[in-house]
Chains A and B, each alone.
Chain A
Amino acid sequence: MSRPTRTDDASAGLTAANSGMNRRRFLAGTAALAAGGMLMGRPLPAAAQEAPAKGAAARAASSYKLDLGGYAGPELTSQPITLKFMRQEFPPHVNAVLEEAYKEFSAAYPNITIQEEKVPYGDLQKKMQIYVGSGAAPDVMMGRTDFIEAYHAGNIALPLQDYFLDEFLHDILDNQFKAASAKGNFYGAPWETYFTMMYFNRDIFKKAGVPTPPEVTDVNAGWTAEEFIAALDELTQKLRAQGDSTTWALSAATHGNGGPGANYTQVESLWVRSQGDPNADKGSSAYKTFLGVSEDGLQATGYLDTPEAVKGMANYQQLFTKKLAPPTAVPNQFVSGVGAIHFTGLNQASRLFQQKPAFEWGASPFPRGRIAFNCNSSDCPIVWSKTPYPAEAAALVAYLCNDANRIRFYKTWGSMPVRKSLIAAIPEFGNQQLFQLSAAAAASGQGAPRSVGWFDYFNAINPVVRDIALGGDPESQLKQAATRIDGLLRKYR
């Protein structure tokens, strides 16, 4: 997909930087050019058409009372208003970072009150659905890039490209930008991302006398799925032979409700889609396996139940049939030192740093199949399409995504940034293997299968994955799941 709003101004940016032009003037200039090109180049939905031209807005940029980051919309209202923001609950120290940011925003714009609603992470999409149905949704809601197609098709989110500088949009990792866009519109500012990596407890491997996974920075240089299973099998057998019956080779997933089927997007789909190939012939099952759903996003049969997908799920099933991983949710196994390997994102690893576990640990890429695959599901604040304050809501999103706020957030929460300049600005991403690997995974990540009904797909496939883990036949289960998903997606036709 081509980027809807970003002009190819990278070289222009370089020239500008060299000529000593100040940032605001440069941004205003590129924004004006971009706005012109954008308005000529593609149709905009009604809400976007009502938005002011970005060039005019950018001219007003210097009048913003605060660093609104990539915001390029009009100056904010002087009328007293309340912006409602629904987001996930974070631990108190992370909430404090956001609350501090609101204070700064309200100090600059005392007429704008920010009212938060924090909900458990797993309930965000359901809550959004209920709010949208009620016709009184919060102005800003924390969405996810997986659901961008639905936000577009359901007219849930406001297209944001006209409210953001092209420099900001260009700065977002390409695969993240693509995931946050649909049908030529940019709907949500990716907030942070989670690329699944393999963390291992060095002490357990040492105790069993099994070589640790390769500690590399290249996502293609890790174990293959087969090597991974063989290593875990050997590890388990040696541990049991030593009388250790409590340590698991692979700790239970901690996404969602935990255990198998916890989060297809970020965990189990990696086993399946890594058996596909984006460079294969478009009619081939390898290509379809990689896609996960038909090009129109409305058919899973032939995509989810291919021989390659069955192979991926059969590999996954071995983790449980060979008793390499517990078949149910078990919290904190890895942190407690009774799990040799754990699949998680960078933020959990950062928490490991903070907790200083009583063991040595390292990181390796997620096992690869035919390709090295990682899914780039990201949280992204979206602006409700019917908000009475589109500019202010977009400005709030942009403000929270400005450099200072994002770096403060990443450093506190430990997650993976989604903008190239921020990755470059954090030294660890240049000199520490874990961070370099995470950056490599982020750069090569792929989006969730593009379907307007991804929410249905996701909810239908998770229990099937669990049933396969518990011994169900991968082929028949995937075929049934594909048929079921086809039925669920029919309503979007």
Chain B
Amino acid sequence: MPTAIRTSRKRNGRMARLAEVLPGPAMILPAVVALGIFQFLPLVVAVVNSFRSFNPFNQSPTGWVGLANYDEIFSDPGFQLAFVNTIAYIVIMLAATIPLALFLAVLLDQRLPGSTFARGAIVAALAASEAVSALIWNQLYDPRGGMFNAILAAVGLPEQPFLIGDTQSLLSIAAMSVWKDVGLPMLIFLAGLQAIPRELYEAAALDGAGPWRTFRNVTLPLLRPSLVVALFMMTITATRIFTPILILTQGGPNGATSNLAYYSYRLNFEFMAPGAASASVVCMLLVIVVITIAQTWLARGPKGV
């Protein structure tokens, strides 16, 4: 075969392979670039900044300080409290939101009267502005004239300092966040429930399984993927609680409601310390990573899936 023909065929083959291989990466390239710029670059910048010092006036980097920013925040009681509170928010949010969302999803899946309205109401809370929701809950929690204390007074219980008590305030923020965010895991569970084949329920009924046994042995195992997603989403949501803290308590009283997100915000925007704020953000990211890895491991299926 003449060399020219061989070369031409080779070239055509390469072009064909390229035509086969290129469209895929080309199509995902915009998403990769966007993710790189808006997700991963800030992350890298935060990590880098956590080892730098900054000019407090114009926030330009002035040098490398090793672990000094980490030393600074670890020795700050405010950070320690914010760290503990972050974990507390995650635990409370997961403990309250996941069972509640599952309960609501199962209820709505029954298509009982009023289901459409209930679904709309729950999703509306999810869609509502966080700031507006916080302002509404601020009125509900008002020590005098707020609805919650009015209810307590009506049943003869003492007035509660919901947002100003050392012990109540974190729970009050968490309660608002549960109300606001329960819609997301509920929708995830609802989608998971609707994907479970009805035949399995019919088979369970034929085998004489009651509602609880059906739920435990059919519904729950088949909802495992949804559960993992819901846990992951709610962990991130709980770690990032910010607006209610800013609006309802500004981290008080005595730092009782501050978390790592709010602590980092204050360091950067109120105390002109971007290096320490970045170190705090890195700690927050580590918390999310460790917890989600643990969740994934704990919620893995029998085959490790």
Could you list which residues of chain A lie within 8 angstroms of chain B, going by C-beta atoms? 126, 129, 132-133, 135, 150, 153-156, 246, 257, 261, 326-330, 453, 455-456, 459-460, 462-463, 466-467, 470, 472, 484, 488, 491-492
Known contacts A133-B60, A463-B250: A328-B271 contact under CB 8 Å: no
How distant is the Cα of A22 from the Cα of B78 in the complex, in angstroms? 63
Q: Is the CB of A459 within 8 A of B57?
A: no
Known contacts A328-B164, A466-B252, A466-B253: A132-B266 contact under CB 8 Å: no
How distant is the Cα of A135 from the Cα of B59 in the complex, in angstroms? 10
User: Is residue B99 within 8 Å, beta carbon to beta carbon, of the partner chain?
Assistant: no
CB A134 to nearest CB in B, in angstroms, measures 9
Main SS at interface, chain A: helix
CB A159 to nearest CB in B, in angstroms, measures 16
How distant is the Cα of A198 from the Cα of B100 in the complex, in angstroms? 50
Give the top 7 A-B pairs by smallest Cβ distance, nearest first: A154-B57, A459-B270, A133-B59, A470-B253, A470-B164, A133-B58, A456-B271
User: Contacts of B255 on A, CB cut-off 8 Å?
Assistant: 463
In the complex, the chain A residue whose C-beta lies closest to that of B251 is: A463
Q: Is the CB of B271 within 8 A of A472?
A: no
In the complex, the chain A residue whose C-beta lies closest to that of B55 is: A154
B41-69 contacts to A (CB < 8 Å): 55-60
How distant is the Cα of A153 from the Cα of B252 in the complex, in angstroms? 32
Main SS at interface, chain B: loop
How distant is the Cα of A455 from the Cα of B55 in the complex, in angstroms? 15
Could you list which residues of chain B lie within 8 angstroms of chain A, going by C-beta atoms? 55-60, 78, 138, 142-145, 161, 163-164, 247, 250-255, 266, 269-273
User: Contacts of B269 on A, CB cut-off 8 Å?
Assistant: 126, 129
Q: Is the CB of B271 within 8 A of A459?
A: yes
Q: Is the CB of B253 within 8 A of A467?
A: yes
Q: Is the CB of B272 within 8 A of A491?
A: yes
User: Contacts of A129 on B, CB cut-off 8 Å?
Assistant: 59, 269, 272
CB A87 to nearest CB in B, in angstroms, measures 20
Q: Is the CB of B272 within 8 A of A456?
A: yes
From B60, B78, B252, give the contact of A467 (CB < 8 A). Answer: B252
CB A262 to nearest CB in B, in angstroms, measures 10
Q: Is the CB of A132 within 8 A of B272?
A: no
How distant is the Cα of A472 from the Cα of B254 in the complex, in angstroms? 8
Q: Is the CB of B270 within 8 A of A328?
A: no
In the complex, the chain B residue whose C-beta lies closest to that of A154 is: B57
> Could you give 10 example pairs across A and B, Cβ below 8 Å?
A153-B57, A154-B55, A326-B144, A327-B143, A327-B161, A327-B164, A460-B270, A463-B255, A466-B253, A491-B272
User: Contacts of B58 on A, CB cut-off 8 Å?
Assistant: 132-133, 135, 154, 156
Q: Is the CB of A150 within 8 A of B251?
A: no
How distant is the Cα of A217 from the Cα of B59 in the complex, in angstroms? 46
User: Contacts of A126 on B, CB cut-off 8 Å?
Assistant: 269-270
How distant is the Cα of A462 from the Cα of B273 in the complex, in angstroms? 18
In the complex, the chain A residue whose C-beta lies closest to that of B59 is: A133
User: Contacts of B144 on A, CB cut-off 8 Å?
Assistant: 246, 326
In the complex, the chain A residue whose C-beta lies closest to that of B163 is: A328
User: Contacts of B273 on A, CB cut-off 8 Å?
Assistant: 488, 491
User: Contacts of B78 on A, CB cut-off 8 Å?
Assistant: 484
From A257, A326, A456, give the contact of B250 (CB < 8 A). Answer: A257
CB A148 to nearest CB in B, in angstroms, measures 13
Q: Is the CB of B164 within 8 A of A488?
A: no
CB A4 to nearest CB in B, in angstroms, measures 21
User: Contacts of B270 on A, CB cut-off 8 Å?
Assistant: 126, 455-456, 459-460
